Amino acid sequence: MSESKATTTKGELPRLQLKGINKTFGAVRALMDVDFEAFDGEVVGLVGDNGAGKSTLIKTISGAYIPDTGDIFLDGQKVHFTSPQDSTRVGIETVYQDLALCDNLDVVSNLWLGRESLQFGMLNEVEMERRTLEVLRTLDVKIPSVRVPVAALSGGQRQSIAVAKTILRKPKVVLLDEPTAALGVAQTRQVLNLILRLKEQGLAVVVISHNLHDVFEVVDRVIVMRLGRRAGTFEIKNTTPERVVAAITGAEFGD
Amino acid sequence: MSEQNPDKNKAMGKTGVVEKPLPGLAGTVPSPPSEPLSLKSFLRLDLGFLPVLITLVLITIYFQIASNGFFLDARNLSNLVQQIVSTGILCIAAVMVLLLGEIDLSLAAVAQACAGVTAVLSVYQDWNPWLAILAGLLAGAIIGTANGFFIAYLRVPSFIVTLAGSIGYAGMLLLVLGPQSTLIVRDETIRGLAPNFLDSVVGWLLPILSLALYAGAILYEQQRRDKIGLKTKSVQQLALQIGGATVIVLAITALLQSYLGVPIAGVIWIGLVVFFWLLLTKSTFGRHLYAVGGSAEAARRAGINVTAMKIGIFAIASTLAAFAGIMLASRSTAVASQIDSTLLLRAIAAAVIGGVSLFGGRGSIWAVVLGSLVIGSLENGLTLLNSEQSIKNVVQGAVLLLAVTADALARRANSTRTR
């Protein structure tokens, strides 16, 4: 299994690739020569201790930070981001922890906010509702009604809506920042299921998480960050949480 | 056709609402445990207009009995409509600003200052009445844009900007009126805006046509939803919606027709409410307004220009206020140099009583009609009973406090819910 995975990673062009990224904030070197890659239909876990550089790396990919040196490639093409809008335009969507939903609006309105479908200059509610149901069905998201205000939904459902919102824009890469933080057991399960659905859609999914248990449940490959460097890469099939923890903390792990 | 029963409905089956085992992961998602019935869970329910409707019915019944049947008399109702139009138009402005999550304390001052502009141009400069009215509205738009600039662009709290504005515009009113304390408007066009009535044929045609359009739009939407297989309303629901609107509109029309006819002022007011209702519920502008009121940050990230939205809303609100002021001048045939101290509070109170949240993003424009009716009925009914002004103020204050308390409790119940 690990061999077949290895051949695909070597044989295919990564959907998203970062090479030799450096980023400093004053005297702090947040990222040092970091490489990163994500493939289609793959879930990549990005783990590391606080201050390891996960967030800086994600913000670099999403266009919020501009790296000092290093290149970003999408489908082998070099891209340059100066703002989050740039990365959204080429198909990289980020779901931040605060989700950015309007609690007072219903699910349909939230999903289409800023890109409403119109008919005769008026909101085409029927079309938007139809497409919403379609997307939620593909993602296997279960909510009582698409016409309830988002405030009435559970944390897991809200997370799902935030993800579905990005899917409507037909992205190539989805970045999820701590998607299971502050969720209960059942809701975490919902979100993990959602991540698998995204993978099924053929997207490259990047998940930042503190929760190794969740990571091991859905992720194909784990990239460990430590002190601003990429400290290791693990195929989930042939590693153990202990090894990953060792890489995170920098401890020696005897065989 | 399609019922609301989830088992039978073909659309529901497609939505993924129906529970089924998740492939790929062990176990299913249990539905959240239902919580016990409490005050909190009661408040969280969106009761819509029910509380204010019940309040209105209770007020009506009380005054009807206490005034020996005079309250629901056609003549008194016709009076009531005329009395609440200015407050009602000002209330539309208040609702727009409240939906944004801001407040505009300068509405009454702007109303009277702009009416002053119109009056002065008409009386002293002998302008064409329509041009004078247009100039008054334009003054409102400019004032609103200035308010919005300070609030949205310079990020000064709206409370302070409009408080300062209300003092300044009161001064502006004195300035344009000059030495006179009250400026009598003599122009027949301006005077005729408020007190006249529709021709009885038009008075019947207009509501009937509006109802037909409303019913047609509902049935068209129903048909489209049914074709695509979306959840549709049951026949009973449709009948209630269309039938209810028909009965209410026709009953009010008949009552007003039995006296002098449908007041033009009332038609203008309801026309504005319908216009803003369509704007808020059917246009992207309205959708974005609710979004900004709900979460400005989420709206900004969705690509909505929050600054422009805020400036636009304040401009619209002040223009509406100017119009309310002109209607007030038309009704009283004069512009007073003193700002009516209760006008602003009545407008904001009517909005809040109608269920528009002070915290932004929640509420319907129909709150304007219901809230204005509650406030107006109290005023009108207490006058019928020969109550002192002191009693009126105490009662109106108590009703407002009740409405704001309900809003605050509902908001707390919503924000402290477990997620």
Per-residue DSSP letters for B285-342? Answer: HHHHHHHHHH-HHHHHHTT--HHHHHHHHHHHHHHHHHHHHHHHHHHHTEEESS--HH
Task: Name the minimum distance, in Å, from the CA of B397 to any CA of chain A.
Answer: 28
Chains A & B: contacts with CB separation below 8 Å = 113
* pLDDT single digits (tens) B165-185: 999 999 999 988 887 788 888
Residue B318's pLDDT is 97
Q: Which of A5-9, B204-208, B307-311, B336-340 has the lowest mean pLDDT?
A: A5-9
If we measure between CA atoms, which residue out of B303, B282, B340, B315 comes closest to residue B87? Answer: B340
Give the rounded percent of residues in chain B with a pLDDT score beyond 90: 47
- Written as one string, the DSSP assignment of A133-193 is HHHHHHTT---S-TTSBGGGS-HHHHHHHHHHHHHTT--SEEEEESTTTT--HHHHHHHHH
B303 — pLDDT class (breaks 50, 70, 90): confident
Residue A11's pLDDT is 57
Torsion of CA B296, B299, B305, B308, to 10 degrees: -40
Pure H helices in chain A: 2-11, 54-61, 84-89, 107-112, 125-138, 155-167, 185-200, 212-218, 241-249
pLDDT at residue B227 greater than cutoff 80: yes
Whether A100 sits inside 8 A of B298 (CB atoms) is yes
For B27-47, what is the mean pLDDT?
Answer: 44
Q: What pTM did the predictor assign?
A: 0.84
Task: Name the minimum distance, in Å, from the CA of A86 to any CA of chain B.
Answer: 13
Taking CA–CA distances from A84, the nearest residue in chain B reads: B301
Task: Name the minimum distance, in Å, from the CA of A225 to any CA of chain B.
Answer: 28
Residue B313's pLDDT is 97
If we measure between CA atoms, which residue out of B279, B292, B360 comes closest to residue B101? Answer: B360
Q: Is B3 on the interface with A (CB under 8 A)?
A: no
pLDDT at residue B39 greater than cutoff 60: no
- Collapse the DSSP code of B229 into the 3-class scheme (helix H, G, I; strand E, B; otherwise coil) and give the result: coil
Q: Residue B39 CB: number of other CB atoms within 10 A?
A: 9
Residue B120's pLDDT is 92
Residue A74 identity (one-letter amino acid): L
For B204-226, what is the mean pLDDT?
Answer: 92
* pLDDT single digits (tens) A200-234: 888 999 999 888 888 888 899 999 998 888 888 89
pLDDT at residue B418 greater than cutoff 70: no
Which of A104, A122, A136 lies closest to B282 in CB terms?
Answer: A122
Residue A254's pLDDT is 53
Listed by number, the residues of chain B in 300-339 with a beta carbon closer than 8 Å to a beta carbon of chain A are: 301-304
Residue A251's pLDDT is 78
Residue B229's pLDDT is 81
Tokens representing B141 are: 């738009």
Whether B24 sits inside 8 A of A196 (CB atoms) is yes
Chain B environment of A190 (Cβ under 8 Å) = 29
Percentages (nearest 5) of helix, strand, coil residues in chain A: 35, 25, 35
Taking CA–CA distances from A184, the nearest residue in chain B reads: B419
pLDDT at residue B100 greater than cutoff 70: yes
Chain A environment of B44 (Cβ under 8 Å) = 152
Give the rounded percent of residues in chain B with a pLDDT score beyond 70: 87
Tokens representing B84 are: 């609440």
The mean pLDDT of chain B is 84
A187 — pLDDT class (breaks 50, 70, 90): confident
pLDDT at residue B32 greater than cutoff 60: no
Whether B16 sits inside 8 A of A142 (CB atoms) is yes
Which of B16, B287, B291 lies closest to A140 in CB terms?
Answer: B16
pLDDT at residue B19 greater than cutoff 50: no
For B9-33, what is the mean pLDDT?
Answer: 37
Listed by number, the residues of chain B in 183-222 with a beta carbon closer than 8 Å to a beta carbon of chain A are: 221
For B54-66, what is the mean pLDDT?
Answer: 89
Q: Which of A126-135, B101-110, B315-324 has the lowest mean pLDDT?
A: A126-135
Chain A environment of B98 (Cβ under 8 Å) = none
Whether B283 sits inside 8 A of A121 (CB atoms) is yes
Chain B environment of A123 (Cβ under 8 Å) = 281-284, 287
A205: part of which helix (H) or strand (E)?
strand A204-208
* pLDDT single digits (tens) A32-63: 999 999 999 999 999 988 888 888 899 899 88
* pLDDT single digits (tens) A232-252: 889 988 888 888 888 888 876
Q: What are phi and psi of A90, to 5 degrees?
A: -90, 0
